[in-house]
Amino acid sequence: MLFNPHNKLNINLTEAITMMRIFLFLATNVAIMVVISIIFNLLGLGGVLDAQGIDLNLNALLLMSAIIGMTGSVISLAMSKWSAKQAMGVQVIEQAQNQTERWLVDIVAKQARLAGIGMPEVGIFDTPEANAFATGMNRNSALVAVSTGLLHNMNADEVEAVIGHEITHVANGDMVTMALMQGVVNTFVYFFATIIGHVVDRVILQNERGHGMGYYITQMAAQIVLGFLASMLVMWFSRYREFRADAGGAKLAGREKMIGALRALQRGQDAQDLPGQLAAFGINGGGMSHLFMSHPPLEERIAALQSSR
């Protein structure tokens, strides 16, 4: 049986409760944005931007940017459950096979009722790290998945609090809200990247007709750079929603249980530093790295719960 309520957390944790939900959404969104941008260029739909000759038609550009930006965000949201299952190897519990799975499904069902949402799919993914995530386009048709590491290394109260945290993400519509925000960010990234590409092509490279290779290369490079900078805003929003999810988890499972879960994560994190590529997202980061964290530092989250009444 995976779950022992007396086990203690004894392995390194890579994030505070979950970075997977955010990472999968953003990665899918970026890929879709690039594909849509390429398709638009191949089909010549960007020709509308040349209607005024050297000058850009900014109204047409803004409209096209909104179509590209929002389409990428909506498609990535619609694919979020499927992509999460595939990327994480989630095994959905169709029928509980053991006591652990029955307990897990019962806890999710109980908290979903309390939160006023439809019963999510419940799944388990195999990784030694304690983690969990919730995703889905509809709050009444979501997915809540936990890792084997979470079940192995947290006690019953702590797991219950983690599930409450994820159920709150669903109940608050965080994925939909983030998709809308990401769509707006995408719109302006594409808008300004296109202007930069146009200026480089016409002014610096002095290409007087159509768009040359310099435009496409510069526009793609600008999308990457501006997208990277814009992600700071998305990560700020994610950190804000984490405080709300902690509060919701405390309401569903109990404040002390939620604090206990965060302290368990904190003990595991203290055991070993994050590997290189995860350092920028580390829960104890500071300076510039703090701007790209999807979750606030654990001590801040614990302090917020302790000060709430």
Cα 261 to Cα 241: distance, rounded to the nearest angstrom: 17
Length of the chain: 309
**HSE of 143 in the Cβ direction (CA atoms, 13 Å)?**
28
**Which two tokens mark 219?**
């526009």
140 φ, ψ (degrees, to nearest 5) = -100, 5
DSSP β-ladder status, 121-125 and 132-138: unpaired
Q: Enter the tokens of residue 230.
A: 């814009």
CB 74 within 8 A of CB 179: yes
Angle between helical axes of 298-307 and 213-253 (0-180°, round to 10): 40
Question: Helix (H, G, I), strand (E, B), or coil: what is residue 136?
Answer: strand
- 3-state SS, residue 91: strand
Q: Are 145 and 123 in contact (CB under 8 A)?
A: yes
Annotation says 256 is catalytic:
no
Q: Which two tokens stand for residue 143?
A: 């997915």
Catalytic residue among 101, 160, 166, 242: 166
Q: Which residues pair with 121 in a beta bridge?
A: 143
Residue 141 amino acid letter: S
CA-CA distance, 200 to 189, in Å (whole number)? 16
Q: What angle do CA 209, 214, 215 make, to 5 degrees?
A: 65
Cite the active site residues: 166
